Amino acid sequence: MAKTGPIIVLDPGKERTKGTEAIFMNITAAKTVASLVQSTLGPKGMDKMLINKLGVVSMTNDGVTILKDIGIEHPAAKMIVEVSKTLESTAGDGTTSSVIFSAALLDKAEKMIKKGFHPTVIIKGFKIAEEKALEVLNDRATDVKVGTPAGREILKKAAMTSITGKAPDVHKEHLAEVCVKAAEIVEKRGFVNVRSDVLEIVELNRRMEETEVLEGIALSTNSLNKNAPSRIENPKIAVLNAEIEVHKTKAKSKMVVGSPEERNRILENEIQNMLDVAKQIADTGANVIFSTKMVKPVVLEYFDKRGIYVSRPIEEKDAEHVSYATGAKIIKNVREISSEDLGEAKLMEQEVKNGVGKTFIRDAKNSKVATIIVRGETLQHADSVSTCINDALWVVKSIIEDGKVVAGGGASEMEVALALRAYAPTIGGYEQRVVAAYADAIEELPKTIIKNGGLDVIDLTIALRAAHTKDKNAGVNVFTGKVVDMEKEGVIDPLRVKLNTIKSATEASVMILRIDDVLRAKYTREMPDVKPEHMATSYSGKAPPKMDDRR
């Protein structure tokens, strides 16, 4: 019988890690990600200094910002980051808690696997515990009567809770008021569209407490023409994303003129063509023009004589905002504009202070929009304010839409942990050990808040557990170092944030525990094999010159 050679099933150029070794490797990567943001959790969380490739320095304690900018390479670590990003897009807050909780779950799983637990048993136990945790949170949640003075006060307290630790305490009440007011402006039938209806512009060299919210669109621009009216009621708005100029042919060609008079006639004809286009725009009834391109002086003069407001060139994103709010179509071919393409609002006005101009569009026809003017002394300060306002806006949005809140300061997590410990013995089998471990993992969140506050973790954790036998809202005040009623202290979180934190952390840990084999292509710097006849065509299809022919 003839001998056969070795049968190669897997690519020998790949590195393979399998079994518990693969699971432990991925768990270590996830725990490393958590260690990067763990110290930022809580009102006394520390900041991280991030320096990009251009040398620009930024300081933040926002979990999403840190995870986006540090450059994660390990695939399992990337999974943790991606799951946390989904939390940011659905709840707007809780990213850091989600990452820390994921790492805590995986740490407990690692210890159980070393004791002989199969990953499938752990996954089943995690799912059982997740279901019970969500049930406990829903039972312990407090209803909010949105639209009442008491409900508005809860919205403000929740916004302040989100801002605490991200901005100076002296400004958090003012910033919270800005967020609540912005949400009230754009709220429609119990829904708040933060992404589209709340706009933001940044002004530097101003104090942080001067940050304000305005009803309508505010643009960092003013009129290009000197005689434009500063106030227009019921404006007809045209949004242009094209230059007003002579139509050019696609073919490149040159024109030869025989005399100065002929040249002047050509120029006059071009000017007349531009004026015809300007007249076409004016004939639609437009009296306000926003353009992303510069308007030429001859056209500007035509509009100026007719009292038509023409803005300085705006960014395309601002043009999209104006289009969305007013219903105006963005025109890319000015020769096709019609009256149906115009947007409407109740008022357009502009103001110029200290050489800085702004244009306001109020009561737009298509959608109610709010603009937050973020002010800071430096770009770094303004970025910090922008980040905490965005988080607080999502918190307010969640409460308005769901109408439910829970106590913060580690109160809700401790309540879940105690409920899971009481529930675990009723399950039976190996899963009860997993549910108990899940309870220990979720308890890591209040422990981390205590630790970052510089307080005694053991003493306060014991005190917190004892307090929860009487008060479901008991949490840790890291400023006083005492266990108090968080609801009375005004430390409030949206129920949505807590629910999504548990869901995303559990899902991330389950995804990693399911992986028992990792195949990685080896990275090599060696050049691929190239045959000599192929190299001969590397010089514009010709053979390279011989050594004897080179000079």
Residue 391 among the catalytic residues: yes
367 has pLDDT over 50: yes
Residue 40 among the catalytic residues: no
pLDDT tens-place string over residues 480-527: 889 999 988 989 999 999 999 999 999 999 989 988 767 666 654 444
Residue with token string 């040398």: 55
At residue 548 the predicted structure's pLDDT band, cuts being 50, 70 and 90, is very low
At residue 15 the predicted structure's pLDDT band, cuts being 50, 70 and 90, is low
How much of the chain is helix, strand and coil, in % rounded to 5? 50, 20, 30
Higher pLDDT among residues 494 and 10, named by residue: 494
CA angle 403, 392, 188 (to 5 degrees): 50
- What is the rounded CA–CA span in Å between residue 350 and residue 288? 12
At residue 10 the predicted structure's pLDDT band, cuts being 50, 70 and 90, is low
Closest CA relative to residue 320, chosen from 356, 369, 279, 362:
369
- Single out the catalytic residue among 60, 65, 96, 506: 96
Task: Report percent pLDDT > 90 for the chain.
Answer: 38
Assigned token pair, 500: 């999504």
Mean pLDDT (the chain, rounded): 84
Q: What is the pTM of this model?
A: 0.81
- Single out the catalytic residue among 40, 60, 65, 95: 95
Assigned token pair, 140: 């312990």
Residue 95 among the catalytic residues: yes
213: left (phi over 0), alpha (psi -120 to 50) or beta: beta
pLDDT tens-place string over residues 257-305: 666 776 667 677 778 888 888 999 999 999 999 999 888 888 888 898 8
pLDDT tens-place string over residues 37-57: 888 888 888 888 888 777 777
- Single out the catalytic residue among 197, 304, 391, 493: 391
- What is the maximum alpha-carbon separation in the chain? 101
Instruction: Please list, in sequence order, all residues whose beta carbon lies within 8 angstroms of the beta carbon of residue 439, skipping any fewer than 6 positions away.
Output: 129, 416, 417, 418, 420, 421, 424
Backbone dihedral angles phi then psi of residue 227, each to the nearest 5 degrees: -95, 15
Q: What is the 3-state secondary structure (H, E, C) of 292-336?
A: CCCCCHHHHHHHHHCCCEEECCCCHHHHHHHHHHHCCCEECCHHH
Assigned token pair, 142: 């407090």
pLDDT tens-place string over residues 303-357: 988 889 999 999 998 999 999 989 999 999 888 899 999 999 999 998 877 667 8
State whether residue 520 is helix, strand or coil.
strand
8 has pLDDT over 80: no
CB 455 within 8 A of CB 478: yes
The letter for the amino acid at 338 is: S
CB 443 within 8 A of CB 413: yes
- What is the rounded CA–CA span in Å between residue 369 and residue 363? 8
Task: Report percent pLDDT > 70 for the chain.
Answer: 86
